[in-house]
Chains A and B, each alone.
Chain A
């Protein structure tokens, strides 16, 4: 039987939106350029460089998480779990199996993806809030599991430390020179941004908009929510696991403490502050949170008190975050301008 090939029908939403110069692209590119140049100014200060590297690691995770929260509408609360498992996978490969640390990066990414898919397979068929509950249970049980898992080399409560840093040629990356770490982190961060950018602006991202607007119509066009969700969860898990692997070798230690509340709440604030579903926003949020948190270091216990209150205030008063504020600021400005200069036909 001859199967006739039907020419693919192009719908208005199908048009590749990527690489159009709009605010999203502009801010993303600007951020990358500024970050690439920053070591010229701060290259001498290891402290600042370290904060920037940490910001980039969490920035990548925040953007990957926002892909699920803000774009796909998947309330995954286990993102830190993917991160921790990526970190553990990489650390265990290099410390227990003796592999070259570089192998940890693909391994961490793979573990992140596999765990994300395993968690997604049963939960993505459920309604939104059940996903949140299941992933939360996963996240909360992970720390006790890693503590109990001493037998398979997780190092129990104390975790794994020290972890061998990466080696470029014969040169071992140490803590005294942060610049190589910085550019490595920048590379991974840019990878996260680029992947998320194309995921959002491709047919892939558009299908979520379609599902959100009219689920039945989107399904009639052949979009399966389950499949698309599974793919995007895998993608987000991959990026998060990758960042986790890098984090393990950068800080030289992983322990169940990474699954603590503090990390989780930081990540939540990054995404909220930047703007849920406002693409480069969460990455910007990461930089703000890391630097403000360092600045508040002197307040000790009060720091978490402040951050808790901040989450409440952000959700209540500014649910769309900084990028949302920029958007509404522009709307106001346009309205104001229209008010100032009346339409041409009004003029004599």
Chain B
């Protein structure tokens, strides 16, 4: 029972990090109708940039690493949106073209990592070493730091979306692009900012999870698939759905990993996804899956 509670705590922590990763993905689709296939590569790049700053070429502390990497990721996202995605917006088969472009970008970025850093796995050190005993449970500081950081980013995101002008215009565009344009919201700027934020969240997730998993050039694909399953299960474009799905699947991962081994995590995730879609074809909180 005691072990189970510790597994549960790990699951909740993984859940909140998955939420961070998946919410960027769903935001991108909800606001800009962009299905970003290179999401996994952004994840890898976030982790590798952090590695360069914290281990490889300098030994900055994590606070500085976040402070440097996140703006870089944001700018990178904006550039990708402007150069690759914006020109495609006038095409009739926009969503599919974007899927293909980002797929190409993913392969390009992953292999760029491979060429620059080599195939050998790298690992980031833990943020904080050691563990602490709370109410009889042993919890590592690393987990607590992860949880707190993810929580801060998640709360900041909700405040941003709910209270600031940019966040509100993002929500307006998500609801009705034409209406948003009529009231004078610059669509393309909102798309670019959304893509930047999404990239930034993904990079943050990459840094947070890198100490837990090893970093490999192609490792981002697992997280793309995970983000994908979370997002479909929660309902594409729904932030609330993503939140629930991330926690359900995060806890499931911790339990399955503890009982059966990590290899079984993906089959179980797919099973849960399948069950959810059987009952609700649009995901937990999705409304737009069926056409017409």
Contacts and interface: CB of A to CB of B under 8 A. Distances in A.
Interface string A291-303: 0000000000110
A268 B104 CA distance: 9
Nearest to A140: B225
Contacts of B270: 137, 141, 145
Interface string A124-140: 01111110111011001
B84 A316 contact: yes
A304 interface: yes
Nearest to B105: A312
A288 interface: no
Given A126-B281, A133-B232, A144-B267, A301 B290 contact: no
Contact of A75 (B99, B115, B273, B288): B99
Interface string A112-134: 00000000001001111110111
Given A132-B96, A137-B225, A140-B225, A308 B290 contact: no
A148 B100 contact: no
A301 B114 contact: yes
Interface residues of A, number: 37
Contacts of A268: 100, 103
Interface size range of chain B in the complex: 35 or more
B289 A126 contact: yes
A77 to B, nearest CB: 8
A140 B221 CA distance: 9
B100 A272 contact: yes
Contacts of A132: 35, 95-96, 99
Interface in A276-323: 301-302, 304-305, 307-312, 314-316, 319
Given A141-B225, A141-B267, A127 B291 contact: yes
A304 B107 contact: yes
A310 B104 contact: yes
Contact of B95 (A126, A128, A308): A128
A192 to B, nearest CB: 23
A136 to B, nearest CB: 7
A127 B289 contact: yes
29 contacts: A75-B96, A122-B277, A128-B96, A129-B29, A129-B96, A130-B232, A132-B99, A133-B35, A133-B236, A136-B225, A137-B232, A140-B221, A140-B228, A140-B266, A145-B270, A261-B221, A265-B104, A268-B100, A272-B100, A302-B111, A304-B111, A308-B105, A308-B109, A308-B110, A309-B104, A311-B101, A312-B84, A312-B104, A315-B104
Interface of A: 75, 122, 125-130, 132-134, 136-137, 140-141, 144-145, 147-148, 261, 265, 268, 272, 301-302, 304-305, 307-312, 314-316, 319
Interface of B: 29, 35, 84, 87-88, 91, 95-97, 99-101, 103-112, 114-115, 218, 221, 225, 228-229, 231-232, 236, 263-264, 266-267, 269-270, 273, 277-278, 281-282, 288-291
Given A126-B289, A137-B228, A261-B218, 6 more contacts: A133-B236, A144-B263, A144-B267, A145-B266, A304-B107, A305-B107
